[in-house]
Amino acid sequence: MMKSSLSVSCLTLAFFFLSGAQSARITFRNNCPNTIWPGTLTADQKPQLSTTGFELASKAFTSLDVQAPWKGRFWARTGCSTDASGRFSCATAECASGKIACNGNGAVPPASLVEINIVENGGQDFYDVSLVDGFNLPVSVSTEGGTGDCRTSSCSANVNAACPADLQVKDVDGSVIACKSACIAFHQPQYCCTDGFNTPATCPPTNYSMIFENQCPQAYSYAYDDVNSTFTCSAASNYVITFCP
Ligand SMILES: *[C@@H]1O[C@H](CO)[C@@H](O)[C@H](O)[C@H]1NC(C)=O
Ligand SMILES: *[C@@H]1O[C@H](CO)[C@@H](O)[C@H](O)[C@H]1NC(C)=O
């Protein structure tokens, strides 16, 4: 009896360490002055993470674990409230689930996105900050415990303050709370890199994407802005996503 339960514990322990080596912890920090509501979305029709949306008070942090391989995105909603009928909604980066959990819905643009692709067996992960779907708040992503380049990718500027009038999203009081990408605002192929503009060579930066590029050179300002926007790290044990870094 003793022997078999010990073997089971050893197996459990071995499994824990083996699977532990295949997982990464993602920590969310809210450095913003106000409460935010982060959202998570797992890509490729894979099962969603244990949480798809949660409230995070100013200066608070929380973590969740993901099993490799994992690919998906993170963002944060602002100006959220629950109406008299119990429906939850947000002023920016809404996921339109009517609840704090996004339940497999992505962010309705504009939203600053953190994209992370964690591979198996300590291979090379990819991560970035993307403003391809516009901007709502500053965000950074850094790694801990990995090997290789492993630099922090940050968009710390308030792009809303530099947002041109035709891309602005305003609150009821007239303040700019988010900035659309030109693709989202105008739905034209030269901004979305679609139709005849669907290669890096045929879809150069535009006067609109350059506004995002100048504010946040490390973030994707449009779909083919790869040169300084993709970050890599191998075998990172932790990712730290900081809103308002
Ligand atoms: C960008 O260029 C377009 C087309 O030339 C022009 O209509 C628009 O006003 C410009 N916008 C900005 C913000 O420079
Ligand atoms: C990439 O970053 C380097 C260093 O900041 C800069 O000199 C270069 O112009 C950037 N390239 C692009 C395509 O933005």
Of 207, 213, 221, the one to substitute when testing ligand 1's pocket (max ligand atoms within 8 A of C-beta) is 207
Residue identifier of the C-alpha nearest atom 10 of ligand 2: 228
207 Cα–ligand 1 center, Å: 6
164 Cα–ligand 1 center, Å: 10
Band of pLDDT at residue 149, cut at 50, 70 and 90: very high
What DSSP string runs through 149-216?
Answer: S---EEE-S-GGGG--GGGEEE-TTS-EEEE--HHHHH--HHHHT-GGG-STTTS---HHHHHHHHH-
211 Cα–ligand 1 center, Å: 11
pLDDT tens for each residue of 90-140: 999 999 999 999 999 999 999 999 999 999 998 999 999 999 999 999 999
Residue identifier of the C-alpha nearest atom 1 of ligand 2: 228
Residue 228: CB within 6 Å of ligand 2? yes
pLDDT tens for each residue of 55-65: 999 999 999 99
The domains of the chain are located at: 23-243
Band of pLDDT at residue 13, cut at 50, 70 and 90: very low
How many angstroms separate the first and last alpha carbons of the chain?
A: 54
To which residue do tokens 């890599």 refer? 232
152 Cα–ligand 2 center, Å: 16
Query: 23-243 belongs to which CATH class?
Result: mainly beta
